[in-house]
Amino acid sequence: MKKKLTLAFLLFSCLLITKFKVQAQAVNVQDSLALVDLFNSTDGPNWRYNDNWLKGPVNTWRGVIVLNNRVWRLLLPDFKLNGKIPYSIGNLTGLDILQLATNNLSDTVPSSIGNLTNLKSLELQYNNLTGSLPVSLSKLTKLTFLAFFTNKITGNIPPELSALKNLSTLSLGLNQLTGTIPPELGSLTNLYKLQLSNNHLSGQIPPELGNLQRLGALELGNNNLTGNIPPELGNISNMDLLWLDHNHLRGNIPTSFENFPKIRSLNLKGNEFSGDVSFLVNIPTLIEVHLNQNRFLFDGMELIQQNILFPAYNQQAHISIHQNGNSLSVTAGGNLANNTYAWFLEGEKDTTFINGDSVFHPSKNGIYNVIVKNSVATKLILKSKPINYIAPSYINAASAYDNNQQQSIKKNTSFFVYPNPAKDILHIETDKNVTVSLINEEGKVLITKNINDKGEINVASFPAGLYYIKNNSNGEVQKIIIHK
């Protein structure tokens, strides 16, 4: 009796194994042929891994996962595939994931890939694919992950990709894409990562990207983007990383960035930005900021240095030297008391150091430069463009007057201004009723006021820097500094 039971069990086991083998081989014929085509098109015999390919049942081929008699997942990363993706890849319509990253695939992506409408993840990064992105990708409406970065893809980004409403990652960086960023991408409201860096994209950043409330990472660096940063980007409440480096962007950083509640890394390096950046320290999560290689001055840099864990703000554009009569000056920003100005004449060894005030009175004609350092924002050294200084003729003419004449002029035109430097109120004393004007470094009249013996001018609203008070009655000018 025991022998009969044992024999029956063995017979039943053999039937199960036979049934399993039959099922294992029952893979859709079109799927099998497409896999064979892929093997032959990509030098299958020399793959890094090709266990059981074209030998055993399809579901035993390495990297192939079968579900319900269809190829469900094709996972061949770093297999050393060498060749082109065959058109027949579009027959694998049961695919959920197509992973062909980190190989040596070349030629164009076949339009038949748009037939894979069940795909959730398409990973073709780190290959040598060429040609443009097929518009048929827009049919893959179940996609959540689409990656083509590090290939040789050319042409424009198809605006039709806006149909992929389930995308959480769109990664097209390190290609040769041209044209503008389609504003239609602003409708991909499930995007968490948009990576378009290291291409040849041009035009402005679409303000529609500010609609991507779930976006955590926006990478647009190393392109040819122009214009200002749209303030709408500050509406993205989930932003963690924003990299706009190495473009041709200009203007001020939008103060709307102060609204970011989560951002940790901000990279604006290698553009033409300028203005005050002090408001960035009000972002509590910001630990890394790259502001170098722009047109910033020391305005706000002292606070950046003191409050941001990993600040970078060195190598700004050269600043301009202004000549006013027999004096030279520059605008460097920041707390003037922390600034040191080193003036030097080309061909001469001597350097004149001035603290807290950039105004310099050259003793010789020639080509002058200045280097400005700040005792707090020590990573930035501002350098000037050279200026060819020639003393104005009236300076030489003044030497023709004898001392008595000069004393007489001084007596008749003198007026007293204090405090200097001034922060809020500038007091002026005169010996008669005169009209005075407050003038900035560019020569623009900011305020004109009548002063009778004593008076004052409120300068609290003006930015720190060098200014002049002019007595309009006789033309006498006195230099003042406004500090904050």
211-259 pLDDT tens trace:
999 999 999 999 999 999 999 999 999 999 999 999 999 999 999 999 9
pLDDT at position 434 = 85
Say what percent of the chain tops pLDDT 90: 73
Q: Single out the residue in 282, 312, 342 at which a domain terminates.
A: 312
Cα angle, residue 187 at apex, residues 185 and 191 outer, rounded to 5° = 75
pLDDT at position 160 = 98
The band of 396, judged by pLDDT with boundaries at 50, 70 and 90, is very low
Secondary structure percentages of the chain, helix, strand, coil, to 5 = 25, 30, 45
Contacts of 9 (CB under 8 A, 6+ apart): none
Same domain, 307 and 336: no
User: Would 13 be classed as within a structural domain?
Assistant: no
Strands (E), 17-171: 64-67, 70-75, 82-84, 97-99, 104-108, 121-123, 128-130, 145-147, 154-155, 169-171
Whether the pLDDT of residue 2 is over 70: the answer is no
SS (H, E, C) 299-331: CCHHHHHHHCCEEECCCCCCECCEEECCEEECC
Helices H, strands E: what count in the chain?
A: 5, 33
Give the pairing type, strands 145-147 and 169-171.
parallel
Mean pLDDT throughout 430-448?
83
Identify residue 169 by its one-letter amino acid code: T
- Which token pair is 346? 């080309």
Pick the more confident residue, 459 or 8: 459
The residue segments making up the domain with residue 307 are 22-312
**Residue 347 sits in a domain of what CATH number?**
2.60.40
In this structure, the number of other CB atoms found within 10 A of the CB of residue 337 comes to 14
Same domain, 234 and 365: no
pLDDT at position 473 = 79
Same domain, 235 and 175: yes
Cβ-contact 256, 233 below 8 angstroms: yes
pLDDT at position 404 = 43
Cβ-contact 116, 136 below 8 angstroms: no
* Separation CA 321–CA 427 (nearest Å): 29
* Separation CA 364–CA 221 (nearest Å): 46
pLDDT at position 45 = 97
Q: Which of 88-102, 335-349, 357-371, 407-421 has the lowest mean pLDDT?
A: 407-421
Task: Report CA 276 to chain centroid distance, whole Å.
Answer: 17
Nearest CA to 309 out of 283, 331, 288 is that of 288
User: Would 453 be classed as within a structural domain?
Assistant: yes
**Residue 165 sits in a domain of what CATH number?**
3.80.10.10
* Separation CA 240–CA 236 (nearest Å): 9
pLDDT at position 400 = 39
User: Would 384 be classed as within a structural domain?
Assistant: yes
In this structure, the number of other CB atoms found within 10 A of the CB of residue 102 comes to 18
Q: Single out the residue in 280, 312, 344 at which a domain terminates.
A: 312
Nearest CA to 466 out of 322, 365, 342 is that of 322
Same domain, 26 and 149: yes
The band of 414, judged by pLDDT with boundaries at 50, 70 and 90, is low
Same domain, 66 and 122: yes
Mean pLDDT throughout 459-468?
84
SS (H, E, C) 413-434: HCEEEECCCECCEEEEEEEEEE
- DSSP string across 451-477: EEEEEEEE-TTSPSEEEEEEETTT--E
Q: Single out the residue in 286, 312, 338 at which a domain terminates.
A: 312
In this structure, the number of other CB atoms found within 10 A of the CB of residue 257 comes to 21
147-184 pLDDT tens trace:
999 999 999 999 999 999 999 999 999 999 999 999 99
134 DSSP assignment? P
* Separation CA 113–CA 97 (nearest Å): 12
Whether the pLDDT of residue 482 is over 60: the answer is yes
Same domain, 429 and 460: yes
Number of domains making up the chain: 3
User: Would 14 be classed as within a structural domain?
Assistant: no
Same domain, 422 and 345: no
Same domain, 271 and 372: no
255-299 pLDDT tens trace:
999 999 999 999 999 999 999 999 999 999 999 999 999 999 999
Cβ-contact 326, 298 below 8 angstroms: no
Cβ-contact 310, 287 below 8 angstroms: yes
pLDDT at position 55 = 93
User: Would 467 be classed as within a structural domain?
Assistant: yes
68 DSSP assignment? T
Same domain, 166 and 289: yes
**Residue 466 sits in a domain of what CATH number?**
2.60.40.10
Whether the pLDDT of residue 435 is over 90: the answer is no
Q: How many CA atoms lie within 13 A of 195 on its CB side?
A: 19
Same domain, 212 and 194: yes
User: Would 46 be classed as within a structural domain?
Assistant: yes
User: Would 371 be classed as within a structural domain?
Assistant: yes
The band of 390, judged by pLDDT with boundaries at 50, 70 and 90, is confident
Same domain, 279 and 220: yes
Give the DSSP H/E element, type plus range, for residue 301.
helix 301-307
pLDDT at position 484 = 62
Same domain, 292 and 420: no
User: Would 16 be classed as within a structural domain?
Assistant: no
* Separation CA 449–CA 472 (nearest Å): 10
Cis peptide preceding 207, ω within 30 of 0? no
Predicted TM-score (pTM) of this structure: 0.77
Mean of the per-residue pLDDT values for the chain?
Answer: 89
Dihedral sign from CA coordinates of 442, 446, 449, 455 = negative
pLDDT at position 303 = 97
290-342 pLDDT tens trace:
999 999 999 999 999 999 999 999 999 999 999 988 899 999 999 999 999 99
